[in-house]
Chain A
């Protein structure tokens, strides 16, 4: 009896670690991932509570206190209309974070659908969709986004739509390749043999088994999406000038170059958020693709 219990306890020792244990192990090995998660979570929290914690309304003008440097009264100074930069930076998180996430969600969903259809349908449909994908990839993507936003008219929604329009091709290519691999599996044949419809097989049997790499790519892409949105705003193809969007605030700050607080703080807000998502993305890539660690 005792020998049986000793065997079972030694077996327990070799049990594979739980997900929580694995996560703790990877976080210890990649402290920057933990830092990235903390910074990103902090910004997301700020986006939720900005109305409660911002000292003043982001659009409230105070001409008597215009262009004040950072100090006790105004933590990050004020802009040319006396608006509090600190409050505007906090409120800016409510624009930039949802915009970046929306670009990724819309772009990746569209790309996944196109890639899945191309891979599953094959033949002429596959050729047509893949050539279309290559066409979109022939443009430097921000340039194409600029052209689309200019055609649609500059505002936040159109900037997000324009970025999503140029974001999908990478996802389409990845999904197509994965669907081609998965559709040859036996369980897909089994689904065919029980008479399941093509739509059901594609979106209920095949796609769920290919989605993980697209989700990882999406995580890696969030930082780039935020940077791209900020770039569009910076050149005037995003929200209106009075908006507390970070890229737009930097753009307006150029005209007040000596009042460095006008462009530095919103710029650092973008950099910290993008860096946080890059830390997370890098860590995720290291964990999932050990070859890139060079070990």
Chain B
């Protein structure tokens, strides 16, 4: 199968999923609350007939349900996710402002997480039943069993409050000014501005929350890497590779890793969902002003439009990441290319 055909087929599969997500979001937003007006408008607006009438008209609440959905979809396509009750601003505007911070954190988190998870899984599988294997498995177990907010609090307490070797909450030291906005990601913007001091400070503020995220997702990644590699290590072709006289490093690195990668890549894609959830819990503890912190504050103040907006965004990102994973399969699994 050509890459183009494979790609087009995947795109066609994603479209109904995206539409389906909007249907689910619409049902939650409009069918579950006893009264969507109560759920979506601030308490002081509930006495104002004009505001209520404008809200009804905008979201088509006086029309049949299928027309309401089309109105909802139309508004969504124009980037309209409603107005936040807490911040009194359009949700899409708030999201756009905070998204770069979360992308910056999540990117570093997934990088650390993959390195840590795959590394631990490799060590664990290659030196099975050794002390290194047990240590790696204990770290993985902590990652999957400890609530991420507890890991974040312990890290912050030990490395920031007690030892003073890591930067504390926020994105930058309070006395520092953010770099001029280009991407919204402080590390990149500081580099573009040639401001080394701001870059190092922004990076130091990212390390602790990114490491927490990494530990959180590395547990599942290392477990899958270990079991997948252990299965591959027992295959006949691995014995053949050794019998040919290939070096162990080459046997594991080329034959072993490559063949055990598919489940690992799948789980990395799936753990992106965990990463998004983790960002809500971690950003709230590190007072890191990204989408996660926004969602946390929206949840604690029952800001329904903001919660729905972030949920929808996270679902789209999740589908997008899994789409990329699907595309990666084409390059990782030769069986797809010959199918």
Interface string of A72-95 (1 = CB under 8 A from B): 000000000000000000000000
Minimal beta-carbon separation of A168 from chain B (angstroms):
14
**What DSSP secondary structure best describes chain B's contact surface?**
helix
Given A140-B315, A250-B149, A152-B161 contact (CB < 8 Å) = no
Minimal beta-carbon separation of B219 from chain A (angstroms):
10
Residues of B within 8 A of A270 (CB): 146-147, 150
Report whether B21 and A271 are in contact in the complex, using a CB–CB cutoff of 8 Å: no
A257 to B277, CA, bound (A): 22
Binds A, one of B68-76, B97-105, B246-254, B299-307: B299-307
Report whether A263 and B153 are in contact in the complex, using a CB–CB cutoff of 8 Å: yes
Report whether A235 and B311 are in contact in the complex, using a CB–CB cutoff of 8 Å: no
Mark out the residues of chain A between 142 and 157 whose CB falls within 8 Å of any chain B CB in the assembled complex: 142-144, 146-148, 150-154
Residues of A within 8 A of B154 (CB): 264
A293 to B280, CA, bound (A): 34
Report whether A144 and B24 are in contact in the complex, using a CB–CB cutoff of 8 Å: yes
A179 to B234, CA, bound (A): 33
Kindly identify which residue among A139, A153, A237, A268 contacts B299, using a CB–CB cutoff of 8 Å: A237
Report whether A271 and B17 are in contact in the complex, using a CB–CB cutoff of 8 Å: no
Q: CB within 8 Å of B: which residues of A? A: 131, 134-136, 138-144, 146-148, 150-154, 223, 227, 230-231, 234-237, 247, 250-251, 253-254, 257-258, 260, 263-264, 267-268, 270-271, 274-275, 278, 291-294
- 20 A-B residue pairings within 8 Å (CB atoms): A135-B17, A135-B20, A138-B318, A139-B315, A140-B272, A143-B311, A147-B25, A147-B311, A154-B302, A223-B144, A231-B148, A235-B295, A235-B299, A257-B161, A268-B150, A274-B146, A274-B147, A275-B146, A278-B144, A294-B234
Since A140-B273, A141-B273, A267-B147 are in contact, a sample of 13 more A-B pairs with Cβ atoms closer than 8 Å, ordered by chain A residue number, is A136-B24, A139-B314, A142-B277, A143-B310, A146-B307, A147-B311, A150-B302, A151-B33, A153-B302, A250-B149, A258-B161, A263-B153, A264-B154
Q: CB within 8 Å of A: which residues of B? A: 17, 20-21, 23-25, 28-29, 32-33, 39, 125, 128, 141, 144-150, 153-154, 156-157, 161, 226-227, 230-231, 233-234, 272-274, 276-277, 280-281, 284-285, 295-296, 299-300, 302, 304, 307-308, 310-311, 314-315, 318-319
